[in-house]
């Protein structure tokens, strides 16, 4: 049998990752690798050829989702506002989508049984996203585009503003996930940038009274 070509190997890997994302959302981490392989249309051994264990497959699902987010922050030719708008739109789309909400439920449910899996997810996903965002905001502070503050604090504030209350709403209300809304993202980003706007240094107001040292002595 002829060995598979590189494009065929790449296509198989992509299908496995997509199938794993779907199955993990539907059944949680306890889902069998056989179910993932069947969803991808490959043999179980083919899955193991790409991913030696289920934890490796899960980690790759998280890594790819995070990588797509980080790409939105790489466009140095854009203004800070434009970069944050791109990032904010994709972040909300991923986190508040049916798949993103399902993934969150899966992790929350499996944390007690698989604490090392939850820790790996945090390191690979949220921690990397926050770290890269902190770096971008720190650079903006050095350029004088934002007021000087803790970049980590600034990053956590933005991430919370983008999804915090909305994620709770769509997790528990039963309402369907929101459609992408660029105007709402812009509203959040503009509010955030106003809060972290550079602080203008104002000259002290001149006194209407003549200093005592300059008054003439009768």
**pLDDT tens-digit profile of 24-38?**
888 878 889 999 999
Q: Is residue 191 part of a domain?
A: yes
What is the CATH classification number for the domain harbouring 68? 1.10.357.10
Q: Is residue 208 part of a domain?
A: no
In eight-state DSSP terms, residue 79 is -
Determine the pLDDT at residue 1.
41
**The two three-digit tokens of residue 114, written as one number:** 């698989």
Q: For 102-106, 125-129, 198-202, 206-210, which range has the lowest pLDDT when averaged over its residues?
A: 206-210
**Could you tell me if 139 and 62 are in contact, meaning their C-beta atoms sit under 8 angstroms apart?**
no
Q: Is residue 206 part of a domain?
A: no
13 vs 64: CA distance, rounded Å: 12
Is the domain of 86 the same as that of 151? Answer: yes
pLDDT, tens digit, 9 for 90 and up, residues 115-132: 887 888 888 888 999 999
Is the domain of 163 the same as that of 68? Answer: yes
Residues of the domain holding 154: 54-195
51 vs 43: CA distance, rounded Å: 13
Determine the pLDDT at residue 136.
95
Is the domain of 62 the same as that of 143? Answer: yes
Structural domains in the chain (count): 2
pLDDT, tens digit, 9 for 90 and up, residues 137-189: 999 999 999 999 999 999 999 999 999 899 999 999 999 999 999 999 999 99
Q: Is residue 200 part of a domain?
A: no
Terminal alpha carbon distance of the chain: 112
Is the domain of 127 the same as that of 117? Answer: yes
pTM: 0.76
């Amino acid at each position: 049998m002829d060995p598979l070509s590189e494009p065929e190997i790449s296509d198989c890997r992509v299908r496995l990752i997509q199938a794993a994302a779907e199955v993990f959302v539907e059944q949680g981490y306890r889902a069998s690798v056989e179910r993932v392989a069947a969803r991808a249309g490959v043999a179980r051994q083919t899955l193991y050829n790409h991913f030696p264990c289920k934890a490796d497959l899960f980690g790759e699902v998280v890594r790819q989702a995070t990588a797509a987010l980080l790409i939105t922050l790489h466009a140095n030719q854009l203004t800070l506002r434009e970069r944050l708008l791109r990032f904010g739109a994709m972040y909300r789309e991923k986190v508040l989508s049916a798949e993103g909400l399902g993934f969150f439920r899966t992790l929350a449910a499996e944390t007690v049984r698989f604490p090392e899996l939850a820790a790996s997810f945090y390191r690979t996903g949220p921690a990397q996203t926050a770290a890269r965002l902190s770096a971008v905001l720190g650079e903006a502070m050095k350029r004088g585009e934002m007021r000087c503050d803790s970049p980590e604090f600034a990053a956590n504030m933005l991430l919370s503003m983008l999804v915090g209350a909305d994620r709770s709403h769509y997790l528990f209300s039963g309402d369907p996930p929101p459609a992408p809304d660029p105007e709402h993202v812009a509203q959040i980003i503009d509010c955030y940038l106003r809060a972290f706007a550079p602080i203008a240094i104002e000259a002290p107001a001149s006194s209407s009274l003549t200093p005592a040292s300059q008054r003439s002595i009768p």
